[in-house]
Amino acid sequence: MQELTESIGKYLLAVVSPLIRHPEKAELRVAKSSEGDLVRFRLVLEQPDVARVIGRNGMTASAIRSMAKAAGEKRGIKVIVHILSHEEAAA
């Protein structure tokens, strides 16, 4: 599962970095369930970058989430991707 988590994390950062204006401030936080069947990724960005990643009508975020979810499903692991601003993550 560690290998899958690392590869999905690299995918998320590789896809998001060209879309945002402050890639150096992007954080990826990972939480795994104790049973090992769920991995939750929290992509924490600057507030203006969140809107850029979500895209018009949420289409960009939906595509990013679909690809990450598909990678997890191949190994029987549920993957959830949250896209948050630093302010939302601190609350």
Q: Given this model, what pLDDT does residue 12 score?
A: 96
Tell me the pLDDT tens digit for each residue of 32-86. Answer: 988 879 999 999 999 999 999 999 999 999 999 999 999 999 999 999 999 999 9
Domain assignments of the chain as residue spans, ordered by start: 2-90
CATH for the 2-90 domain, from 3.30.300.20, 3.40.50.2300, 3.30.390.30, 3.50.50.60: 3.30.300.20
Q: Given this model, what pLDDT does residue 36 score?
A: 78
pLDDT band of residue 1 (cuts 50, 70, 90) is confident
Q: Given this model, what pLDDT does residue 67 score?
A: 96
Q: How far apart are CA 26 and CA 18, in angstroms?
A: 12
This prediction has a pTM of: 0.90
- 7-22 in b/e form (b: 16+ CB < 10 A) is ebbeebeebbeeebee
Q: Given this model, what pLDDT does residue 5 score?
A: 92
Is the pLDDT assigned to residue 91 strictly greater than 90?
no
